[in-house]
Amino acid sequence: MKKRPTPHEKSSALEPRRDSITDLFPDSLPRRPAPIVPTAGTVKHDALLAMIAGPVSQPRFERSWRLAAYINELVNDGWAILSREIDYHGRVIAEYRLDLTDEPTRAAVAAMTVRRRQAGFIHPQLVGLLVVSVPALVAALAAILGGV
Protein backbone atom coordinates (compact mmCIF):
# COMPACT_ATOMS: atom_id res chain seq x y z
CA MET A 1 0.00 0.00 0.00
CA LYS A 2 1.19 3.41 -0.83
CA LYS A 3 1.38 6.15 1.76
CA ARG A 4 -0.83 9.14 1.34
CA PRO A 5 1.17 12.22 0.33
CA THR A 6 1.57 14.81 3.06
CA PRO A 7 0.32 18.31 2.29
CA HIS A 8 3.00 20.93 1.81
CA GLU A 9 0.89 23.70 3.23
CA LYS A 10 1.84 25.40 6.46
CA SER A 11 -0.17 24.78 9.58
CA SER A 12 -2.51 27.43 10.85
CA ALA A 13 -0.63 27.89 14.14
CA LEU A 14 0.54 31.37 15.00
CA GLU A 15 4.12 32.27 14.43
CA PRO A 16 6.09 32.36 17.70
CA ARG A 17 7.04 36.01 17.27
CA ARG A 18 3.40 37.02 16.85
CA ASP A 19 1.92 34.72 19.47
CA SER A 20 1.12 37.13 22.28
CA ILE A 21 -1.15 36.73 25.28
CA THR A 22 -1.47 40.45 25.91
CA ASP A 23 -4.66 42.18 24.89
CA LEU A 24 -4.78 45.46 23.05
CA PHE A 25 -7.54 46.68 25.35
CA PRO A 26 -6.95 45.13 28.81
CA ASP A 27 -9.67 47.29 30.38
CA SER A 28 -12.25 45.62 28.15
CA LEU A 29 -11.49 42.14 29.52
CA PRO A 30 -13.91 40.78 32.13
CA ARG A 31 -12.68 41.18 35.68
CA ARG A 32 -11.61 38.12 37.58
CA PRO A 33 -14.12 37.03 40.21
CA ALA A 34 -13.39 37.66 43.86
CA PRO A 35 -11.48 34.89 45.63
CA ILE A 36 -13.47 32.43 47.71
CA VAL A 37 -12.99 33.03 51.43
CA PRO A 38 -12.55 29.69 53.25
CA THR A 39 -14.74 28.64 56.15
CA ALA A 40 -13.57 30.05 59.48
CA GLY A 41 -11.80 27.56 61.73
CA THR A 42 -10.43 25.41 58.90
CA VAL A 43 -6.74 24.90 58.23
CA LYS A 44 -7.14 26.63 54.87
CA HIS A 45 -8.60 29.69 56.64
CA ASP A 46 -5.74 29.68 59.15
CA ALA A 47 -3.22 29.53 56.28
CA LEU A 48 -4.90 32.53 54.68
CA LEU A 49 -4.88 34.48 57.96
CA ALA A 50 -1.18 33.65 58.40
CA MET A 51 -0.45 35.06 54.94
CA ILE A 52 -2.47 38.19 55.69
CA ALA A 53 -0.24 38.71 58.73
CA GLY A 54 2.90 38.29 56.62
CA PRO A 55 4.98 35.75 54.70
CA VAL A 56 4.54 32.18 55.96
CA SER A 57 6.63 29.04 55.58
CA GLN A 58 6.10 25.49 56.77
CA PRO A 59 8.23 25.72 59.96
CA ARG A 60 6.30 28.80 61.13
CA PHE A 61 2.87 27.34 60.30
CA GLU A 62 2.17 25.04 63.24
CA ARG A 63 -1.42 24.07 62.44
CA SER A 64 -0.55 21.47 59.77
CA TRP A 65 2.40 19.93 57.99
CA ARG A 66 0.58 20.20 54.67
CA LEU A 67 0.86 23.95 54.13
CA ALA A 68 1.67 23.60 50.41
CA ALA A 69 -1.53 21.62 49.83
CA TYR A 70 -3.64 24.32 51.48
CA ILE A 71 -1.83 27.05 49.54
CA ASN A 72 -2.66 25.15 46.34
CA GLU A 73 -6.33 25.03 47.36
CA LEU A 74 -6.28 28.79 48.01
CA VAL A 75 -4.80 29.39 44.56
CA ASN A 76 -7.56 27.23 43.06
CA ASP A 77 -10.09 29.37 44.99
CA GLY A 78 -8.81 32.49 43.22
CA TRP A 79 -6.24 33.91 45.66
CA ALA A 80 -3.10 35.39 44.12
CA ILE A 81 -0.19 33.91 46.07
CA LEU A 82 3.51 34.40 45.44
CA SER A 83 6.12 31.89 46.54
CA ARG A 84 9.86 32.09 46.78
CA GLU A 85 12.54 29.68 47.87
CA ILE A 86 14.38 30.41 51.11
CA ASP A 87 17.16 28.67 52.97
CA TYR A 88 16.14 27.01 56.22
CA HIS A 89 18.84 25.16 58.18
CA GLY A 90 20.62 24.09 55.01
CA ARG A 91 17.43 23.09 53.19
CA VAL A 92 15.51 25.00 50.56
CA ILE A 93 11.85 25.53 51.44
CA ALA A 94 9.05 27.68 50.07
CA GLU A 95 7.79 30.88 51.64
CA TYR A 96 4.33 32.10 50.63
CA ARG A 97 2.74 35.54 50.67
CA LEU A 98 -0.33 37.17 49.19
CA ASP A 99 0.12 39.16 46.01
CA LEU A 100 -1.54 42.43 47.00
CA THR A 101 -0.92 43.92 43.56
CA ASP A 102 -3.75 41.68 42.33
CA GLU A 103 -6.95 43.72 42.58
CA PRO A 104 -9.43 40.93 43.54
CA THR A 105 -7.04 39.58 46.20
CA ARG A 106 -6.44 43.05 47.65
CA ALA A 107 -10.19 43.74 47.80
CA ALA A 108 -10.90 40.38 49.47
CA VAL A 109 -8.18 40.95 52.08
CA ALA A 110 -9.55 44.43 52.80
CA ALA A 111 -13.06 43.02 53.21
CA MET A 112 -11.78 40.29 55.56
CA THR A 113 -9.88 42.74 57.75
CA VAL A 114 -12.90 45.06 57.98
CA ARG A 115 -15.11 42.12 59.04
CA ARG A 116 -12.55 40.98 61.60
CA ARG A 117 -12.31 44.50 63.05
CA GLN A 118 -16.08 44.80 63.29
CA ALA A 119 -16.54 41.48 65.07
CA GLY A 120 -16.51 42.17 68.80
CA PHE A 121 -15.45 45.79 68.43
CA ILE A 122 -17.11 48.53 70.47
CA HIS A 123 -16.50 52.08 69.33
CA PRO A 124 -14.98 54.21 72.12
CA GLN A 125 -17.88 56.70 71.95
CA LEU A 126 -20.36 53.90 72.67
CA VAL A 127 -18.51 52.62 75.76
CA GLY A 128 -19.88 55.58 77.73
CA LEU A 129 -23.43 54.50 76.90
CA LEU A 130 -22.72 51.02 78.25
CA VAL A 131 -21.58 52.48 81.55
CA VAL A 132 -24.87 54.37 81.85
CA SER A 133 -27.22 51.68 80.50
CA VAL A 134 -25.87 48.54 82.25
CA PRO A 135 -26.70 49.74 85.82
CA ALA A 136 -30.16 50.82 84.63
CA LEU A 137 -30.68 47.40 83.03
CA VAL A 138 -29.55 45.60 86.20
CA ALA A 139 -31.90 47.76 88.31
CA ALA A 140 -34.81 47.02 85.96
CA LEU A 141 -34.12 43.28 86.06
CA ALA A 142 -33.87 43.37 89.87
CA ALA A 143 -37.22 45.20 90.08
CA ILE A 144 -38.86 42.68 87.77
CA LEU A 145 -37.43 39.66 89.57
CA GLY A 146 -38.03 41.20 93.02
CA GLY A 147 -41.67 41.94 92.20
CA VAL A 148 -42.42 38.36 91.19
- 48 near 67, Cβ under 8 Å? no
Q: Phi then psi for 82, rounded to 5 degrees?
A: -100, 145
pLDDT over 70 (residue 17):
no
How many beta carbons lie within 10 A of that of residue 52, not counting itself? Answer: 16
What pTM did the predictor assign? Answer: 0.59
Distances 109 to 32, 79, 131 between C-alpha atoms, Å: 15, 10, 34
pLDDT, tens only, 35-92 = 999 998 999 999 999 999 999 999 999 999 999 999 999 999 999 999 999 999 999 9
Domains along the chain with CATH numbers: 33-121 (1.10.10.10)
- Tell me the CB-side half-sphere exposure of residue 101, using CA atoms within 13 A: 1
Q: Which comes out higher in pLDDT, residue 10 or 33?
A: 33
- 63 near 46, Cβ under 8 Å? yes
pLDDT band at 130 (very low <50, low <70, confident <90, very high): low
| pLDDT of res. 97 | 95
